[in-house]
Structure 1
Amino acid sequence: MTDENGGPQGAHQVDDVGVGPWPGGPDAWPDDPRYDPELLAHGDRRNVVDAYRYWTVEAIVADLDTRRHPFHVAIENWSHDLNIGSVVRTANAFNAAGVHVVGRRRWNRRGAMVTDRYLHVHHHPDAAALATWAAGAGPDGTRLPIVGIDNVPGSVALETHVLPPRCVLLLGQESTGLTAGAQAVCDVVLHITQHGSTRSLNAGAAAAIAMHTWLVRHG
């Protein structure tokens, strides 16, 4: 039997993090290919919602694919910015259509908390390559607008701008922001209005605000 979240009734909680082995042993295991025998036998302590307990990674990705939101998140990666992991984790939380790393292929995955396994992560060598991809990535080969997020001169307040229903949110590095090449491929660059003394927001925080703003409008 399962509870209201799709998990087994009476599954043993382990220190409030995940669940232990499926109750009743192998004879009680569900006859469902989405379930992972290893997790059923040893427990599932991953950071996933209860509805996905004991599911394989492939089954979770397939289910998420049926309801992903039609926005993508891209971030420039020139100096191994540790914030990329945080951006990826937030993109997973909001079920973005994809994450794009622009620049260096390698990035620090620690902050992502393995959530990149449940996303479609793409690499582009530079902003021009991202723009080429976006030119035909919309429905029926249409173009996805690229929306930069940075407080550069000429940027528009995020709060006053209506984000497109399908788009790519492009963020720069923590220290330098969007490069000139990245700004050049953007349809618009938006900034998040601040009211304190600091010059800029943490890149991970800015990405979270931008994604949540999209969801408030279109989600």
Structure 2
Amino acid sequence: MHDEEPRLEVGVGPWRGPLPDDERYDPELLAHGDRRNVVDRYRYWRLEAIVADLDTRRHPFHVAIENWQHDLNIGSIVRTANAFAAAEVHIIGKRRWNRRGAMVTDRYQRIRHHETTDAFTAWAHEAGLTIVAVDNTAGSVPVDAAPLPERCVLLFGQEGPGLTDEAIVAADAHVAIRQFGSTRSINAAAAAAIVMHEWVREWAL
């Protein structure tokens, strides 16, 4: 019987040395350590300080998700949006969503709710953003074949049914992900990660 390998601790322990004279640092984290899943740049920082710093560096693309059936993918999409520094995540439909997949990244990511597709569409156009529907609908173009707009909202439907007819009509552009297997679609969270990375590859690298 093999001995179990020791579990690696995440993060850092209590601060060593003179305490920093900087209001961004959290006294509790300095005293007890910071075990959060944050990059080293934000170790020991207060939550509000991290969000404020992210606000200065967020990219000009947004992500929107329809939530008529309490889609469990939303949390994972929020987590990916945070990783790619999306400006905001928009929840269309039901306000409540399963945060488990977000792994607490919803604390750092700007999130906005819209009751209806019409309300979301009006907001996006007023903000000067191109709505890009992501679904393998008729007339959609491969997302890797043409650059995504710099200022846009990437709009995703629910797992299974995909985008509603209202969302498809509201979109200014339609893109799809090339697939080569037997299934018609891929997981919504996986699709969101692919398309967000396409935006980052085009505009942020």
Task: Settle same-fold status: TM greater than 0.5.
Answer: yes
Read off the aligned partner of 1:119 and give its amino acid letter.
Q
Q: Is 1:68 the equivalent of 2:58?
A: yes
Read off the aligned partner of 2:90 and give its amino acid letter.
H
**Alpha-carbon distance in 2 for matches of 1:100, 1:29:** 39
Q: Percent identity?
A: 66
* Structure 1: segments with no counterpart, 5+ residues: 1-13, 138-142
**Alpha-carbon distance in 1 for matches of 2:24, 2:104:** 19
**Alpha-carbon distance in 2 for matches of 1:107, 1:161:** 32
Equivalent position to 2:178, from 187, 193, 216: 193
Q: Is 1:91 the equivalent of 2:81?
A: yes
Deviation at 1:42, TM superposition (A): 1.1
**Alpha-carbon distance in 1 for matches of 2:87, 2:44:** 24
* RMSD of aligned Cα (Å): 1.1
**Alpha-carbon distance in 1 for matches of 2:173, 2:125:** 15
Higher relative contact order (CA 8 A, sep 6+): 2
Deviation at 1:199, TM superposition (A): 1.2
**SS of residue in 2 equivalent to 1:170:** strand
**Alpha-carbon distance in 2 for matches of 1:20, 1:48:** 14
Match of 1:100 in 2: 90
Deviation at 1:154, TM superposition (A): 2.1
> Once structures 1 and 2 are overlaid, which stretch shifts more, 100-109 or 145-154?
145-154
The runs of at least 4 aligned residues of structure 1 exceeding 4 Å deviation read none
User: Which whole-Å deviations, capped at 9, do the CAs of 1:183-214 have from their partners, x for residues lacking one?
Assistant: 11100111101001111010000000000000
Match of 1:58 in 2: 48
Q: Is 1:177 the equivalent of 2:177?
A: no
Read off the aligned partner of 2:54 and give its amino acid letter.
L
**Alpha-carbon distance in 2 for matches of 1:156, 1:172:** 17
User: Which whole-Å deviations, capped at 9, do the CAs of 1:103-154 have from their partners, x for residues lacking one?
Assistant: 00000000000101111100001211111111222xxxxx211000001222
Show the 5 A alignment for 1:137-156: 137=127, 143-156=128-141
Deviation at 1:16, TM superposition (A): 3.5
User: Which whole-Å deviations, capped at 9, do the CAs of 1:59-82 have from their partners, x for residues lacking one?
Assistant: 001111111100000000011111
**Alpha-carbon distance in 2 for matches of 1:144, 1:72:** 9
**SS of residue in 2 equivalent to 1:183:** helix
Read off the aligned partner of 2:170 and give its amino acid letter.
V
Equivalent position to 1:18, from 11, 26, 31: 11
**SS of residue in 2 equivalent to 1:135:** helix
Residues matched between the structures, number: 198
Q: TM-score, normalised by structure 1?
A: 0.88
**SS of residue in 1 equivalent to 2:202:** helix
Match of 2:124 in 1: 134
Q: TM-score, normalised by structure 2?
A: 0.94
Read off the aligned partner of 1:21 and give its amino acid letter.
P
